[in-house]
Structure 1
Amino acid sequence: MASVGLIPGFFVILFSAGASGLGLYFLSNCASHTNGRNASFFAISKLTWPNLAVLFDLAIAIKCFGVAISYLIIIGDLMPQVVAAFAPDAQQSAVLMDRRFWITLFMATAVLPLSFLRKLDSLKYTSVVALIAVLYLCAIVIEHYFGKDFTPPPEGSVELVHFSFKFFRHLPVFVFAFTCHQNIFSVYNELKDNSQKVINKTIGISIGSAAFIYEIIAILGYLSFGKDVSGNVISEYRQSLFVAGGQMAIVILVIFSYPLQAHPCRASLDKVLAWRSPEVRGLKVPPLPSPFKYFAMTTAILVSSYLVAITVSKLDLVFAFVGSTGSTTISFILPGLFYFKIHENDPWNTGKIASLALAIYGILVMVVCLTFNVLNLLKN
């Protein structure tokens, strides 16, 4: 929001929510054309562009892998601050202040066992805890802004309208914020009633509630700290037990969210690896991975994401690159192209036009934003 100003930022969030919801609708509509409850990006690719199915799944795997890395980075960023708030004397301990220690600890004790679960439905209880953590973050942002000791940012640091080319580096974050498309097929397959009406309601509640929460945090966070606000707003607040509790809540949130990325990453990786087999390549629904392959893929995702997370510490950089590549691909480009291809012989109508427009928008966002982010990276 700081990169574009208060008013445009408000509408960019709404527009991103609408575009994301439209992509989810197109994917769920395409899912109804698959056999039974076996919908996946692979299955729809076989109905549309069978020769490109492996590339689509590769893009999804990379996107989910990047998001998983960002979650581990957040753990490393916040846990030293939490420790410093609850136990000030612990700041003398090099181990407890080391981000790599906390990433390693939570990876081994919580992230790893949850990531081996086979069904998305198994994560419903941890997801409730994660939602409570989001509400806690909202409470911190609201309490700080309306609190008695609130100190406004310097004059001129909050603008109603502001534009610079920096916006194109941050636009992928808006895209990234609403990207949940990697899980829409698991939701479609596992819902008791997966009619389009129920799916549409699920999409509306999910995207609508996310947009509402994002607006609160973005507006009040920007009004609190101005244009110099950091990429991770929770780290901006003055340390207290209340804020430290919120930071701990966010750590819990990302721990429970990591498996929601590992699940589709593993599924897409399985399709990519299976592509080498001519027998599997000709199937509309590939067979489930063997226990050994399942274990090997999950372990590879966990270990490689861990190694990257302890090496890279720039959260906004990860968000920007994942948002401009993987998120745009699975949120806009693939949903638009899939829907258009499935309905290519139908008369031109609103849905068909919208699907083509969504795919073109996704390609433009990817090219422009990726270019600006690469140039910025080279410059720095």
Structure 2
Amino acid sequence: MSLVVGQLAAWRFLVGSSVLSRAAVTSYEDLGLFAFGLPGKMVVAGTIIIQNIGAMSSYLLIIETELPAAISEFLSGDYSGSWYLNGQTLLIIMCVGIVFPLTLLPKIGFLGYTSSLSFFFMVFFAVVIIIKKWSIPCPLRSNYIEQYFQISNATDDCKPKLFHFSKESAYAIPTMAFSFLCHTSILPIYCELQSPSKKRMQNVTNTAIALSFLIYFLSALFGYLTFYDKVASELLQDYSKYLPHDVVVMTVKLCILFALLLTVPLIHFPARKALMMMFFSNFPFSWIHHSLITLALNIIIVLLAMYVPDIRNVFGIVGASTSTCLIFVFPGLFYLKLSREDFLSWKKLGAFVLLIFGILVGNFSLAFTIFNWINK
């Protein structure tokens, strides 16, 4: 819950910093420029580019890996070798037919419809997880299941634990923080609001983060209450093992993959804007520049997804630092720099706490991620 409060505070400081700058701030990079000049702008832009390319490549890698398996579950018989079960072919088709046209859109507001569809898919996912809680008995009884879960029939397996810590817990904080990472889109959305104001933007952020938190919380809670200690990191894998060929579960898997696919254009928008501001900030808007950078970014993320199999491990380490900078460090730092309030004021103290919290979380996550990666 503290992470959610921290996210809301960070969003508030971002919008507050844009107001304090007393200039036409339309992006995260603009804040870096007004706070620390050109170096600040370049650092923010570089951080956004690295973070978002890593996220988009990771999402496309998941689609390349999981989409053929999700489609094959609907098929009976041997269709191995078919083009529609080839991950790279499907990835190229999806990117050319869906991702590239959506990323060409000049304003982020145009992606509101695809975002609503993606959110609907996540709601469907949460509803199915809740309903399946009463479809799967505990303890799990099936020779097929015992093959995967190595379970006993003891009723102790069905008692929830309030706290459980392991070396994997090190990934919990950065994962939860990343799940709410949309700070790079906050200012573009703010600028595209009708009659933008801090109050209206706060209502948008409160609604968005509350709905996201509710979906994540219900999915995690009922997923755990279904499988308890045997729950997998990829929740739907458990349902596929216990309920093979269940049409609803198979449909949910496809919906989640399309939700990831529709998220890529949203992440693409800030990355393209960062590149535009780095190289073409002194030029008027040009469809040629816009299209070429969009095409180049799409080619880069597709190639990374197709030919760098350990891309998630590489960007997992990079993301542990870039994510916390974008989420916690930069919002607090920019507000401290731009605000003329006394340092002991509540807002400045809050910004300072957010800054320190981000530094601690980033270092902690980075250290444990590297430690676990080396051990593996």
* TM bin (shorter chain): 0.7 to 0.9
| Structure 1 segment 1-380 matched on structure 2, within 5 A | 14-34=1-21, 38-50=25-37, 51-89=39-77, 91-93=79-81, 95-147=83-135, 152=140, 154=151, 155-156=156-157, 159-238=161-240, 239=244, 240-274=246-280, 286-312=282-308, 317=313, 320-321=316-317, 323-380=319-376
Contact 2:54 2:312 in 1 (8 A): no
Q: Secondary structure at the match of 1:87?
A: coil
Matches of 2:356 and 2:121, distance apart in 1: 36
Amino acid paired to 1:74 = I
Q: Secondary structure at the match of 1:331?
A: helix
Compared CA separation, residues 371 and 150, structure 1 to 2 (3 A)? same
Matches of 1:232 and 1:265, distance apart in 2: 27
Residue 314 of structure 1 and its aligned partner are, at CA, apart by: 6.4
Compared CA separation, residues 45 and 174, structure 1 to 2 (3 A)? same
Contact 2:190 2:201 in 1 (8 A): yes
Q: Secondary structure at the match of 1:86?
A: coil
Contact 1:23 1:331 in 2 (8 A): yes
Contact 1:64 1:265 in 2 (8 A): yes
Contact 2:341 2:348 in 1 (8 A): no
Compared CA separation, residues 117 and 244, structure 1 to 2 (3 A)? same
Residue 164 of structure 1 and its aligned partner are, at CA, apart by: 2.8
Superimposed CA distance per residue, residues 126-164 of structure 1 (whole angstroms, 9 cap, x where no aligned partner): 112111101111122112212255655744585321223
Runs of 4+ in 1 over 6 A off after TM superposition: none
Contact 2:15 2:198 in 1 (8 A): yes
Contact 1:173 1:320 in 2 (8 A): no
Superimposed CA distance per residue, residues 67-104 of structure 1 (whole angstroms, 9 cap, x where no aligned partner): 21122123223312321222122543354433223222
Amino acid paired to 1:376 = N
Stretches of structure 1 that go unaligned for 5 or more consecutive residues are 1-13, 275-279, 281-285
Residue 60 of structure 1 and its aligned partner are, at CA, apart by: 1.1
Compared CA separation, residues 315 and 221, structure 1 to 2 (3 A)? farther
Contact 2:139 2:157 in 1 (8 A): no
Matches of 1:106 and 1:53, distance apart in 2: 33
Matches of 2:134 and 2:314, distance apart in 1: 32
RMSD between superposed Cα atoms in Å: 2.4
Q: Secondary structure at the match of 2:194?
A: coil
Residue 277 of structure 1: aligned partner: none
Moved more, 143-152 or 56-65: 143-152
Query: What is the TM-score normalised by the length of structure 1?
Result: 0.86
Tell me the percent identity: 24
Residue 177 of structure 1 and its aligned partner are, at CA, apart by: 0.7
Contact 2:184 2:326 in 1 (8 A): yes
Residue 347 of structure 1 and its aligned partner are, at CA, apart by: 4.8
Aligned residues: 357
Q: Secondary structure at the match of 1:166?
A: helix
Matches of 1:106 and 1:150, distance apart in 2: 39
Query: What is the TM-score normalised by the length of structure 2?
Result: 0.87
Superimposed CA distance per residue, residues 41-82 of structure 1 (whole angstroms, 9 cap, x where no aligned partner): 222122211132201111011111122112212322331232
Contact 2:320 2:365 in 1 (8 A): yes
Amino acid paired to 1:144 = K
Compared CA separation, residues 187 and 112, structure 1 to 2 (3 A)? same
Residue 313 of structure 1 and its aligned partner are, at CA, apart by: 5.2
